[in-house]
Amino acid sequence: MTAPSRSKLLADLLRSVSRMQPRPVAPHPCEDEELLACWSSGLLGPPEHQTIVDHLAACPHCRAELARLVRSGVVEPQEVDPAAASSGRTQGSPLASRGAKRWRWAWVAGPVAVAAAVLIAVYSWPDTPVSSSLSKLEAELNELAQLDNGRPVDPLGALQRVERLIDRGLPPDLDRRARGLVEFFGYRGALLALANLKFEEVETIERRVTARIGDSPQLRNLVLQAERGLRTELALTETGDLLSYGYGLDGFAPGKALPTIGPAQQRLHEGYRAARTKYPRDLRFILNYGQFLLTVADYVGARRQFEAALEVDRNNAQAHLGLGLAAYEVQDFTAALGHFEAAVEADSQDLSAPLNAAICLERLGRQKDAKLFWEKVYLKTPDRDLREWIETTHRREGRVAPSSK
Amino acid sequence: MAGIPSQRNPPTVSSSSPDEEFARCFAEDQDWLVRQPGMAPWSRGLVLLREATEGWVAEYAGRILGQATRPDEPAFRNYQRRLWQCWSYHWRSALAGATGPVDGLRVAERVRAGQGYVGQGRLGGDVFRDVILAEAVLQRDDRATALLHDEYQPFAARLARKYHLRETAAADWWPELFDRLAGYSNPPGKLARYSGRCGLQHWLGTVVRRFLLDRGGRHHGLIATCSPDSAALKGPGTEASPDQALISAECLEHFRELLATALPGLSSDQAVLLHLLFAEGLSGKEAAQVLGKHPGTISRRTANALERLRDLLENSEATKTQPHHECLSHLLSGAPRLSFGQALLEALRDIAHANEGP
């Protein structure tokens, strides 16, 4: 007798129990096409989304139907952004997302200054045929400058306006500055699209921007991220912990297989190599290429990239993090620990490094030393599931869970 | 417009006076409306609502129908009712996110510019106009019918091509869909359920894709059918697979009872995640979309949900009874021949603990 697949048996078991569940009374979300349309259009707020999830938990009919619709692409649920609801904000801001880093503002500050300069220049330009559009642009730029106050900003709308201005014709000096704005708004729009998993849109934006200004390294990087299905500008922001590479909290990875290298990986490889040649000191490409090499099990190559990143910025937390991951993958746990500790020192806010350090120490059998890192992660992580996992793991091994401190 | 019937339906007619009907339309919203700017006293608020909605109905009906409609016409009240349904939804949404009263006219201004108050806020068009158009089509207005066809048929056809749900031309299926939208054969039609929470184009996108999926499935077997395996566990005493035959029917029933008791102990997110992944066969990314979670966290969430399920199974009251306890212990023992229970528990162990070294 051949053993049946696990998924088949689990499916049978869960379906069998599902049939025992009483079907809740209407309304059924799966029958409300307007609700489904709102979901696919990013027009659901957290309360409506939670109502749907609660209903799904109790309704086998809606679960089955929604699964069918999602699988076939009829419904493409969009991210529910709690901060965007009702606040007047029209787009979820990636800068507010978990993966956002404070230093990203350093990149924002420059273009904002350019935007302000354009405003001043535009207003000192007498009787231009575009003055009314410029006044509208001013409003958008002011909103942009107020982004951190939660004011609405629509980068793609702004991009379109700047494009129109350029098309109408601007004096050379302003034209140059406006093209700077094209890159800035395009970059912001692409970040948003990436955060919302609209990967095709990132490429579209890049094409629009490069048509105006030529190559843009920051957009090229986002396109590569989109091709990889990542939603942040730096891959290690979302895949910096060992859990992302198949390891458990005990530092083991049973069943971890060698990656498959297909045409997509080859294409990405070429893309990164070209970008590295063209922009040799751009940290985004160096770090992301390093992380990419980790995913294709080229640990030596990954280590070289992260070392190159340290040459550009010797205190770069993500470079240390990447070096730690590369060392861990070749089972050099002591070296990995050193890099993770350096990453903790370089960026005390990031939780991937202390989590990795704790796992590393577990793997080295130094549970007592791991305790401090576990506590840090446990107390600071917003991820309730991770906290539960840490608690459960500690309890199972008869140790005091961080929560009981 | 070939293939689209346009027989005229009589509009809904009320026997009460227009004023009474108008007041009744807003009565159930009076409590919250009267607290909004410019709405107190209520009599004044009613005037504001009436003037605003009548003005918009006149404006949109003029544009869509190509002729003026008067408040004393029965159809006018239907337009007004639909418009208020839409306006009040967005007004309440604005209120839900505001710290104080909200000016309804400002809400309307924003909504008419295609901006809503929930989620990303992009409604995809002027929803006031869209609800009037929808109602006009239901009223069998020829011009509105032509407008809906001309404006949305190319969009629907593009959508169909994009999703590869049908290879045939839109002419083959559009009249059938239009019939369902307008309710010619089976009133009142899908458009009666459109309330302007999102733009008509967004709504129609979902309706078209679902229609084509169902139609394709009916005619061409495109619908993802239930796995034939799903019929394997109908319950004790029914046809058993060779694997189940190794487990007693009684134990199987106990185990199913335990699971049914344990599942409600999971959070909604956890229960939905397990069902979507294991019973419905969605990928982790798709399940993440449904739950609004980052796809990168799904493995971890699954492990936690299975861990929790295992705790619930082991610690439930039902497990304390002798037969259930014995059954669970039997299954937990992981005897190689008990592949049914073993599969679940292996999954629990492998995924949740993952503590075997390489």
Structure confidence by residue, pLDDT tens digits, A95-132: 233 333 333 333 333 344 334 333 333 333 333 334 44
Average pLDDT of the residues of chain A: 77
Other C-beta atoms lying within 10 Å of the C-beta of residue A95: 18
Name residues 87-126 of chain A within 8 A of B (Cβ). 87-92, 98
Answer yes or no: is pLDDT of A147 > 70.
no
Q: Please indicate whether, in this complex, the C-beta atoms of B282 and A87 are within 8 angstroms of each other.
A: no
Query: Does any CB of chain A come closer than 8 Å to the CB of residue B260?
Result: yes
What integer is the mean pLDDT of A378-404? Answer: 80
Chain B residues within 8 A of A41 when measuring between CB atoms: 119-120, 122-124, 198-199, 202
Residue B332 has pLDDT above 80, yes or no: no
Secondary structure (DSSP) of A254-298: TT--PPP--HHHHHHHHHHHHHHHHSTT-HHHHHHHHHHHHHTT-
pLDDT at B18 (0 to 100): 58
- Statement: residue A35 has pLDDT above 60: yes
**Residue A143 confidence (pLDDT):** 54
Widest distance between CA atoms in chain B:
80
Task: Say whether the peptide bond before residue B187 is cis (omega within 30 degrees of 0).
Answer: no
More confident residue, A145 or B194: B194
For the ranges B10-24, B101-115, B172-186, B224-238, which has the lowest average pLDDT? Answer: B224-238
Out of A39-48, A280-289, B166-175, which region has the weakest mean confidence (pLDDT)?
B166-175
Place of tokens 């470079």: A319
Q: How far is CA B255 from CA A14, B233, B239, B326, in A?
A: 12, 12, 17, 10
Residue A250 in contact with residue A355, Cβ under 8 Å? no
For testing contact with chain A, the best of B90, B194, B251, B272 (most A CBs within 10 A): B272
- Average pLDDT score over residue span A229-236: 92
SS3 letters across chain B: CCCCCCCCCCCCCCCCCHHHHHHHHHHCCHHHHCCCCCCCCHHHHHHHHHHHHHHHHHHHHHHHHCCCCCCCCHHHHHHHHHHHHHHHHHHHHHHHCCCCCCCHHHHHHHHHCCECCCCCCECCCCHHHHHHHHHHHHCCCHHHHHHHHHHHHHHHHHHHHHHCCCCCCHHHHHHHHHHHHHCCCCCCCHHHHCCCCCCHHHHHHHHHHHHHHHHHHHHHCCCCCCCHHHHHCCCCCCCCCCCHHHCCHHHHHHHHHHHHHHHHHCCHHHHHHHHHHHHCCCCHHHHHHHHCCCHHHHHHHHHHHHHHHHHHHHHCHHHHCHHHHHHHHHHHCCCCCCHHHHHHHHHHHHHHHCCCCC
Tokens representing A284 are: 């985004």
Q: Are A73 and B165 in contact (CB under 8 A)?
A: no
Beta-carbon separation of A252 and B263 below 8 A: no
pLDDT of residue A255: 63
- DSSP 8-state assignment for residue A249: T
Amino acid at site B44: R
- Residues of A within 8 A of B268 (CB-CB) are 50, 53-54, 56-57
The vertex-B82 CA angle with B77 and B86, nearest 5°, equals 145
State residue A340's pLDDT score.
95
- Asked if B205 is an interface residue toward chain A (Cβ–Cβ < 8 A), one would say yes
A16 vs A134 pLDDT, higher one: A16
SS3 content of chain A, % helix, strand, coil (to 5): 70, 0, 30
- Chain A residues closer than 8 Å to B97 by CB: 45, 85-87
Query: Is residue A391 within 8 angstroms of chain B, CB to CB?
Result: no
* pLDDT value of residue B97: 82
| pLDDT value at residue B103 | 92
User: Given this model, what pLDDT does residue B184 score?
Assistant: 83
Q: What percent of chain B has pLDDT over 90?
A: 22
Q: Which amino acid, one-letter code, is at B26?
A: F
pLDDT digits (tens, 9 = 90+) for A252-309: 886 666 777 778 888 899 999 999 998 899 999 999 999 999 998 899 999 999 999 9
Work out the percent of chain B whose per-residue pLDDT is above 70: 70
More confident residue, A149 or A30: A30
Confidence of residue A18 (pLDDT cuts 50, 70, 90): low
Mean pLDDT of B228-247: 37
For an interface test with A, the pick among B115, B278, B297 (most A C-beta atoms closer than 10 Å) comes out as B278
Using CA atoms, how far residue B315 sits from A391, B196, B254, B328, in Å, is 17, 48, 15, 11
Best interface-test mutation with A: which of B300, B311, B346 has the largest number of A CBs within 10 A? B300
pLDDT tens per residue, range B86-135? 999 999 999 988 888 999 999 999 999 888 988 888 898 899 999 999 99
CB contact under 8 A, A77 and B289: yes
Distances in Å between the Cα of B226 and the Cα atoms of A3, A19, A75, B232 are 21, 14, 19, 12
**Residue in chain B lying closest to A43 (CA):** B119
pLDDT score for B27: 81
Q: How large is the average pLDDT for residues A158-175?
A: 75
CB B141 within 8 A of CB B6: no
Q: Report whether A187 contacts A144 (CB < 8 A).
A: no
Task: Note the ipTM here.
Answer: 0.79
Q: Which of B194, B266, B339 sits opposite A34 (nearest CB)?
A: B194
User: Is the model more confident about A62 or about A121?
Assistant: A62
A363 close to B (CB below 8 A): no
Residue linked to tokens 């990087």: A221
Question: Do residues B135 and B77 lie in contact, with contact meaning Cβ atoms separated by under 8 Å?
Answer: no
Choose among A14, A41, A48: nearest Cβ to B124.
A41
Residues 124-143 of chain B with CB under 8 A from chain A are 124
Q: Pick the range with the lowest mean pLDDT from A353-362, A379-388, B340-349.
A: B340-349
Task: Say how far apart CA B115 and CA B95 lie, in whole Å.
Answer: 15
Rounded CA-CA distance A45/B126 in Å is: 20
Task: Look over chain B and give the mean of its residue pLDDT values, rounded to a whole number.
Answer: 75
C-alpha distance from B289 to closest chain A C-alpha (Å): 6
Q: What is the mean pLDDT of residues B161-175?
A: 68
Percent of chain A with pLDDT over 90: 32
Q: When comparing pLDDT for A78 and B340, which is higher?
A: A78
CB A292 within 8 Å of CB A279: no
The per-residue pLDDT for A8 is: 54
Band of pLDDT at residue B357, cut at 50, 70 and 90? very low
pLDDT at site B19 = 66
- What pLDDT is stored for residue A87 in this prediction? 41
Selected residues 156-175 of chain B with any CB under 8 Å from a CB in chain A:
163, 165
Residue of A nearest to B114 (CA): A90
Q: Residue A176: what pLDDT?
A: 74
Residue A362 pLDDT more than 80?
yes
Q: Which of B99, B166, B275 best probes binding to A when mutated, by most A CB atoms within 10 angstroms? A: B275
Rg (CA), chain A: 25
B330 versus B1: which is more confidently predicted? B330
Higher per-residue pLDDT: A287 or B27: A287
Cα–Cα distance measured from residue B109 to residue B111, given in angstroms and rounded to the nearest whole number: 6
Q: How confident is the model at residue B340 (pLDDT cuts 50, 70, 90)?
A: very low
Lowest mean pLDDT among A87-91, A137-141, A332-336, B179-183: A87-91
